[in-house]
Copies of this chain bind each other. A is one copy, B any other.
């Protein structure tokens, strides 16, 4: 939408005509978030000071971690305050610029928030992770998936914490999700046997047929599906487990790990809406028996190497060794409902909220 060129208005006078619709955190959820936790607001788009830019949100990344940001209390990142625009990473387009590094029409990735426009002052650019993105390396939605935060999480979690060796067996839960698809495909490229865990036959089929995993276990198929599936598909045990879910699945995998196994703790989506205490891994003493380790990863630690992972995986996307799947929901106002898809496992692929068409 090249509003400004078409109308002939200057980029800044045009801003006054724009309304920025936003979704703000109204209250902290107990258990699963509901509509009552959100406020829909709108405000004018303001012009930036010298050095700043205005970004139009095109698509937002919907991530399990958002649930954690809605809680009070110390974590790897501060919580979203009550009344604040909900935090979200996204991709967008520069529509006004007082910064010579960013031209109107440039595509960027940044912490945009769940809103249609973001006026970003120069001193906040780094904090918001503003970077230009190159649509020749991947599509807008791929920049939220394998080339974005989830892809970086999967890449560095697997490569740096997991340290896969060719021939090892890698298991990843949330296999059809954004992080899972990156982990599994990278592990295949590095010569590992890869077994996914996902919910439903359709996801499992896709993970095996489209992404090339060696097998995928549908954890919903039966109460013993994970246990039986690991026995069947990991005859040599599990060397690396990339955990996105926690809970019973983590406990079951712990019974199948090999000596010196590495368990990457990336998330615990099964526990994020728990209203009682988190379920700790009761089989954690398997770490002792197997001299194994369980280690957490936070993607921000690898920011200075994102560009290397992007370059490598953009190459795999281009030569067909990697594929990506995004589950795109349309419209800012659908954010509250769309987010829930993550927690009931309804999303099939990286969940993206499309806010505007480019």
A residues adjacent to B (C-beta < 8 A): 74-76, 246, 251, 265-268, 271, 277-298, 301
Contacts and interface: CB of A to CB of B under 8 A. Distances in A.
A284 B291 contact: no
Contact of A280 (B280, B291, B296): B280
A294 B288 CA distance: 10
A296 B301 contact: no
Of A268, A292, A295, A296, the most chain B CB neighbours within 10 A belong to A296
Contacts of A283: 278, 280
A289 B280 contact: no
Nearest to A288: B296
Contacts of A75: 289
Given A279-B282, A280-B251, A280-B281, A267 B288 contact: yes
A266 B288 contact: yes
A288 B281 CA distance: 14
Contacts of A278: 282-285
A297 B267 CA distance: 25
Contact of A293 (B74, B251, B271, B293): B293
10 contacts: A76-B289, A265-B284, A267-B288, A277-B282, A279-B282, A280-B280, A280-B284, A284-B284, A285-B296, A292-B296
Contacts of A280: 251, 279-284
Contacts of A297: 288, 291
Contact of A296 (B271, B282, B290, B298): B290
Nearest to A284: B280
A298 B289 contact: yes
A161 to B, nearest CB: 8
Contact of A289 (B291, B295, B296): B296
A288 B285 CA distance: 18
Given A292-B295, A293-B294, A294-B293, A265 B285 contact: yes
A285 B243 CA distance: 11
Contacts of A288: 76, 265-268, 296-298
Nearest to A295: B293
Of A265, A271, A277, A278, the most chain B CB neighbours within 10 A belong to A265
A277 B280 CA distance: 11
Contacts of A279: 280, 282
A215 to B, nearest CB: 24
A75 B298 CA distance: 32
Q: Which 7 interchain pairs have the tightest Cβ spacing?
A: A280-B280, A288-B296, A293-B295, A280-B282, A287-B296, A280-B281, A76-B289
A107 to B, nearest CB: 31
Contacts of A265: 284-285, 287-288
Nearest to A266: B288
A295 B287 contact: yes
A287 B294 contact: yes
Given A251-B280, A280-B279, A268 B285 contact: yes
A271 to B, nearest CB: 8
Contacts of A284: 265, 278, 280-281, 284, 294
A281 B284 CA distance: 8
Contacts of A285: 246, 265, 268, 271, 278, 296
A243 to B, nearest CB: 10
